[in-house]
Amino acid sequence: MISVLYLQGNKNTVYHFIRELIEEGEYAWFINKEGRFLIKWDNAVELYIHYRAKKNPRFDTNIDRRKASNSFREALLHRYSDDADGAKEYEESRKFSGNNKVVERQFQMPLKVFRSLFGSGDQSETSGISGSDPEDHGYEVVMRPDISPLQVI
């Protein structure tokens, strides 16, 4: 089911929002080429509120930040079906501010979602999802310049 959503170009998924953040490169970056990404959580939550309001004009933009953060995190971790999970969070990689607010998080994008949004040269595991190079779709998996693929923040 999840692959169908992406193949049909459904722009109303949280992963399309994440893709936009990664493409902009200001609040989210890949830290490996398998779909693990770092996100500046405090900024992304604010942007997520505006994203949700744009999708649904009745969405309350005055939502409590904690509720918005929980909603965003739940959308990323959402279980889509019996055989496909949402993102995996690396809780040990969370960074906190002085007042104990989470400012950075790391997630592993589900493989099917990653391949659907950014493409892949390996077609053997795509299960019907278009498996082409990211460049064929105009995407490039660009990692944050100050992070090597093996370095964990």
pLDDT tens, residue by residue, 60-107? 999 999 999 999 999 999 855 555 578 999 999 999 999 999 999 999
**Residues forming a β-bridge with 105:** 39
DSSP state of 32: S
Sole residue written with tokens 């979602």: 113
Q: Which of 20, 13, 30 has the alpha carbon at shortest distance from 146?
A: 30
8-36 pLDDT tens trace = 445 557 999 999 999 999 999 999 999 99
> What pTM did the predictor assign?
0.70
CB atoms within 10 A of CB 109: 24
Give the pLDDT score at 112: 86
Q: Which of 91, 83, 96, 82 has the alpha carbon at shortest distance from 127?
A: 83
DSSP state of 134: G
DSSP state of 114: H
Round to the nearest angstrom and report the end-to-end CA distance of the chain: 33
Thinking of the domain 12-118, which architecture would CATH place it in? Orthogonal Bundle (1.10)
